[in-house]
Amino acid sequence: MTETRFDPSVADGRWQRAWEQAGTFTADSDSPKPKSYILEMFPYPSGRIHMGHVRNYTMGDVLARYQKMRGFEVLHPMGWDAFGMPAENAAMEKGVHPGGWTRQNIAQMKAQLQRIGFALDWTREFATCDPEYYGHEQALFADLYEAGLVYRKESTVNWDPVDMTVLANEQVIDGKGWRSGAEVEKRKLNQWFLKITDFADDLLEGLGKLEDWPEKVRLMQENWIGKSQGLEFSFDMSDGGKLPVYSTRPDTIFGASFCAIAADHPIAQGLAGDPAVAAFIDQCKKGATTAAALETAEKLGYRTPITARHPFTGEALPVFIANFVLMEYGTGAVMGVPGHDQRDFEFATKYELPILRVVASDPAKADEPFKGEAEAGDGVIVNSDFLNGMSVEDAKQAVITRAESEGWGEGRTVWRLRDWGVSRQRYWGTPIPFIHCDACGVVPVPKDQLPVTLPEDVSFDIPGNPLERHPTWKHVDCPKCGKPARRETDTLDTFVDSSWYFLRFASQPADRPFDPEEVAKWMPVQHYIGGIEHAILHLLYARFWTRALAHIGKITVQEPFAALFTQGMVTHETYSRIDATRGVPVFFGPEDVNRTSDGATLIADGQPVEVGRVIKMSKSKKNVVDPDAIIARHGADAVRWFMLSDSPPERDLPWSDAGIEGCARFVQRLWRLFAACDAAAEGEDKSLDRKTHQTIAAVASDIEALGFNKAVARIYELTGAVEKAAPSASRSAAIRALVHLAAPMMPHLAEEAWSAMGEGLIADAPWPAVDPALLVDDEVTIAIQHMGKLRDTVTAPKGASKEDLEALAMASANLQRSLDGAAVRKVIVVPDRLVNIVT
RNA sequence: GCGGGCGUGGCGGAAUGGUAGACGCCGGGGACUUAAAAUCCCCUGAGCUUUGCUCGUGCGGGUUCGAGUCCCGCCGCCCGUACCA
């Protein structure tokens, strides 16, 4: 090692090839070692790796390499979430086949990932668009159908009449298709559903045990599942009919002063012959649906001629059609209790309905007036006949019991969670393996005929589903009766593909989706890392599929991901100017801007540009930095180091040129230190030994806690200490330790250094052992305080007695000056830490 | 509205109730060099009457010998969201 510079353009490739040839990161499921499954959310093959991917995979990579050094057999796989709309859009726009487009993107992105030197087991790579993968998925889907967890039902969908396809709710913007801009229609279609609601309680309960998941994600899932318990009962109406309502607050039933039904409630529809009613229903439908708009939306109602009879008081309550009642939730009708529900309060105020108090902080305050808003809090029941004096909880139960015994209502649990509609009228997805026969109905494709593969000869010249209009593909004979029948032309939601891919990574036999015993060896995933945007859908669906597969006896694990980590985004400054003629900002990319410490100018004309906020990298703001260009310039290790430095991993990471240059400098600095290591140096440097061992221990615990930024800081500190130390055996040992500590983060540099000082690959080396005796210092710095203010510091032997420390403190001239002869009232001594004198 | 998170130097950020600002970036000064790059050394929260002292972790209170950290009440920003009965 005579070169003075580390050259990543040579070394990166050399070690990447060495790992590949040695199969260093190929996971052996038969290994006797304990197993560790590290997984990052697999990417959609859009064509380019972006900085967000680099950050995500670097974190997982550090964990994988670290775990390997700790003696685990590590599974760290990578694959491609390869079905989806962008491929079809590309087909429509560029005339390419979705499959070809996707394959080409995968090849590009794989090469990019390999240039970063990730410790991935590429032997297990697959794409969800591989017929082998989706064929197994079809088999699992059929198994779930057999188990009664898949069904068909007619449901209302968002239909884009221009693109001739169903749109997800997220794809409808202001009532128009996101792509075509056409007014979206509601259509009834027969759709495939997965019975996720069967597992609602289990999915909710399971959240409580996911201690290593972010609280935030657990709460989001809890809200999404949305369990509520209450009473469903029916009012007898003045027209002789019944009005079923649902309430989570049956304890407040004596406070009900009206009923309200949704605009699309059958009763409202029945009254729509009246033009005034029809007009009101129309008005309700037009209301905006964004959260912000709903917040300020006025409560509107239409008083129908119908009244409802209160089950206890017999009073006739007016029935309104109201814009704030949703048909989709509960029974689409509510009892209005203005005193204890804010919406009902606003409504009652507007329409001058009675606002009754039935809950009070104290029985004596039963007639306390309301202060302009409803009181939804806890308290004691008042003005409520047989409920008076009860707590809210007891009263709820009492009303439910009474309703059930008298037969006019019953306790009911209502969920917000709906069954998962998985039908998509698209080409680039997993074909749903069913056949429609006029005689036999819906018939599953026999397993020995799977996979049902996508036809290659399709065109995207006209909108709609190419499978539907393919000349031959859908025409098959019924597997049961042999008569001509039709294939299902819907494909599965791509979220199905990502709901079990982690099982296929763990085990990939040819004849089955996976082997349960192999799966049991690796699952659950020990660390799952990805973006917060998947907090609900993907993570909930994956939890559901794992449970569903366990339910039908395919696997034993219930929860797929033991620990979840959601990493922050990579952000960057924006550079812009206001376009004089149009008055809108025009953005410039970082490569077109010259950034100095006090501003930025456009390289093209030398004139200043506005330096804007640091925000997520996006094409429209032109603040994207391409990883490839950075790696070509600074090498993989500098980029990896940057991804781990400074920002805590859960927070956003601001990209900066100065930052990456600093990282590249540090790579060289370490290189010089490694290259100058004198293995023959002799002599002991006890304090450096301590620093080394303390750093090894600290970096280990930081990595285990995913505190990569702290681990980085420790490595900087030890580097500085080693640089300052005189040559000794201790110093040489410290350098060897540093190579190990750097290995998970800067693997190419570490291998290059290790090749000159050790045996084999450092990727295979064990994590350095720590001598516990060296973790504690024999001298400590004691803070000397007067009334909690620092006055002096002194060094003392570790474990010195309280008396000795007090004496040391009293001997301080600085302290004595501060005391100024005042009488000492109290002395606080914290051993090995501080002495505080109280006067 | 509700739920969650965050608020510390010029910037990213450290800190089991115990020396606030580790580590990095930026900036300043110096060394080496004919010069530059690279590298190395020093300084870098504010202020003051500078052996030291005062102030300082969004604001106002409180608990404590001692609070960035705990408690109460506010303010601001970010993210999520369902008028869910």
How long, in residues, is chain A? 839
Q: Where are the alpha helices (DSSP H) in A428-515?
A: 466-469, 494-497, 501-506
What span, in angstroms and rounded, lies between the C-alpha atoms of A508 and A524?
16
Whole-number distance in Å between A628 CA and B3 C1': 40
Q: What's the one-letter identity of residue A529?
A: I
Closest alpha carbon to C1' of B26, residue: A597
**Which window residues (242-281, chain A) lie with Cβ within 7 Å of strand B?**
246-249, 262
pLDDT score for A676: 85
A416 touches strand B (CB under 7 A): yes
- pLDDT at residue A291 is higher than 60: no
Per residue in A421-446, pLDDT (tens digit) is 899 888 999 999 999 999 999 999 99
Q: What's the one-letter identity of residue A229?
A: Q
Q: Which nucleotide is nearest to A287 (CA to C1')?
A: B83
pLDDT-wise least confident of A106-110, A124-128, A500-504, A621-625: A621-625
What span, in angstroms and rounded, lies between the C-alpha atoms of A489 and A504?
26
**Which window residues (324-343, chain A) lie with Cβ within 7 Å of strand B?**
324-332, 334-335, 341-343
What span, in angstroms and rounded, lies between the C-alpha atoms of A268 and A325?
12
A224 touches strand B (CB under 7 A): yes
Whole-number distance in Å between A426 CA and B21 C1': 56
**Which window residues (531-570, chain A) lie with Cβ within 7 Å of strand B?**
532
Strands A570-572 and A653-654: parallel
pLDDT score for A290: 44
- pLDDT at residue A297 is higher than 80: no
A781 touches strand B (CB under 7 A): yes
pLDDT score for A2: 43
pLDDT-wise least confident of A24-33, A595-604, A741-750: A595-604
pLDDT score for A613: 78
Strand B: which positions are within 7 A of a protein CB?
A: 1, 3-5, 11-16, 18-20, 22-27, 38-41, 52-55, 65-67, 79-85
A669 touches strand B (CB under 7 A): yes
Give me the residue label for tokens 């809890």.
Answer: A222
Whole-number distance in Å between A669 CA and B39 C1': 10
Neighbours of A774 (CB within 10 A): 16
Average pLDDT over residues A596-607: 81
Q: Which of A525, A480, A400 is nearest to A75 (CA)?
A: A525
Closest alpha carbon to C1' of B25, residue: A659
Write down the pTM of the prediction. Answer: 0.92
Give me the residue label for tokens 């540090």.
Answer: A666
- Is A185 or A659 the better-scoring residue by pLDDT? A659
- Under the banding of pLDDT at 50, 70 and 90, the label for residue A607 is confident
Whole-number distance in Å between A268 CA and B62 C1': 57
Average pLDDT over residues A392-421: 91
CA distances from A466 to A86, A284, A288, A460 (A): 15, 38, 35, 7
Extract long-range pairs of A471-476: CB within 8 Å, 24+ residues apart. Answer: A476/A435
Please state, rounded to an integer, the average pLDDT across all residues of chain A: 91
Average pLDDT over residues A167-173: 67
pLDDT score for A578: 82
What span, in angstroms and rounded, lies between the C-alpha atoms of A682 and A728?
5
Per residue in A313-356, pLDDT (tens digit) is 999 999 999 988 988 888 999 999 999 988 898 899 889 999 99
pLDDT score for A379: 84
Per residue in A552-595, pLDDT (tens digit) is 999 999 999 999 999 999 998 888 888 878 777 888 888 888 88
A536 burial class (0-12, 13-18, 19+ CB within 10 angstroms)? middle
C-beta separation of A670 from A640 below 8 A: no
CA distances from A541 to A497, A535, A559 (A): 10, 10, 11
Per residue in A773-788, pLDDT (tens digit) is 999 888 889 999 999 8
Give me the residue label for tokens 């499954």.
Answer: A37
**Which window residues (52-111, chain A) lie with Cβ within 7 Å of strand B?**
none
Per residue in A34-68, pLDDT (tens digit) is 999 999 999 999 999 999 999 999 999 999 999 99
**Which window residues (616-655, chain A) lie with Cβ within 7 Å of strand B?**
645-648, 651-654
- pLDDT at residue A750 is higher than 50: yes
Partners of residue A615 on adjacent β-strands? A572
A249 burial class (0-12, 13-18, 19+ CB within 10 angstroms)? buried
pLDDT score for A585: 81
pLDDT score for A517: 96
Whole-number distance in Å between A577 CA and B3 C1': 38
Average pLDDT over residues A448-475: 91
- pLDDT at residue A17 is higher than 70: yes
Q: Which nucleotide is nearest to A332 (CA to C1')?
A: B85
CA distances from A543 to A88, A363, A559, A585 (A): 29, 47, 6, 44
Average pLDDT over residues A829-835: 91
A676 touches strand B (CB under 7 A): no
Q: Which nucleotide is nearest to A299 (CA to C1')?
A: B83
- pLDDT at residue A664 is higher than 90: yes
Strands across the sheet containing A185-194: A165-167, A150-160, A185-194, A420-421
pLDDT score for A600: 82
Strands A35-40 and A527-530: parallel
Give, in degrees to the nearest 5, the angle at Cα A435 between A431 and A440.
160
Per residue in A210-231, pLDDT (tens digit) is 989 998 899 889 989 989 889 9
A613 touches strand B (CB under 7 A): no
> At A127, phi and psi to the nearest 5?
-115, 145
Whole-number distance in Å between A9 CA and B39 C1': 22
Average pLDDT over residues A220-245: 92
A154 touches strand B (CB under 7 A): no
Q: Which nucleotide is nearest to A214 (CA to C1')?
A: B4
- Under the banding of pLDDT at 50, 70 and 90, the label for residue A662 is very high
pLDDT score for A258: 95
A285 touches strand B (CB under 7 A): no
Average pLDDT over residues A174-202: 83
Q: Which nucleotide is nearest to A792 (CA to C1')?
A: B19
- pLDDT at residue A632 is higher than 90: yes
Whole-number distance in Å between A169 CA and B7 C1': 36
Whole-number distance in Å between A710 CA and B13 C1': 10
pLDDT score for A480: 93
Q: Which of A813, A671, A664 is nearest to A749 (CA)?
A: A671
**Which window residues (701-720, chain A) lie with Cβ within 7 Å of strand B?**
707, 709-710, 712-713, 716-717, 720
Whole-number distance in Å between A257 CA and B26 C1': 66
Kindly state the percentage of chain A with pLDDT values over 70.
97
C-beta separation of A800 from A807 below 8 A: no
E-only strand ranges, A514-625 = 527-530, 564-566, 570-572, 575-578, 585-588, 593-596, 599-602, 608-611, 615-616
Q: Which nucleotide is nearest to A250 (CA to C1')?
A: B85
Whole-number distance in Å between A780 CA and B56 C1': 27
Sign of CA dihedral A499, A501, A507, A511: positive
A297 touches strand B (CB under 7 A): yes
- Is A552 or A602 the better-scoring residue by pLDDT? A552
A26 touches strand B (CB under 7 A): no
> Within chain A, what is the greatest distance between any pair of CA atoms?
109
Give me the residue label for tokens 């970082």.
Answer: A590
Neighbours of A93 (CB within 10 A): 9
Q: Which nucleotide is nearest to A657 (CA to C1')?
A: B25
Sign of CA dihedral A208, A213, A216, A220: negative
> At A799, phi and psi to the nearest 5?
80, 15
Average pLDDT over residues A166-172: 69
Kindly state the percentage of chain A with pLDDT values over 90.
67
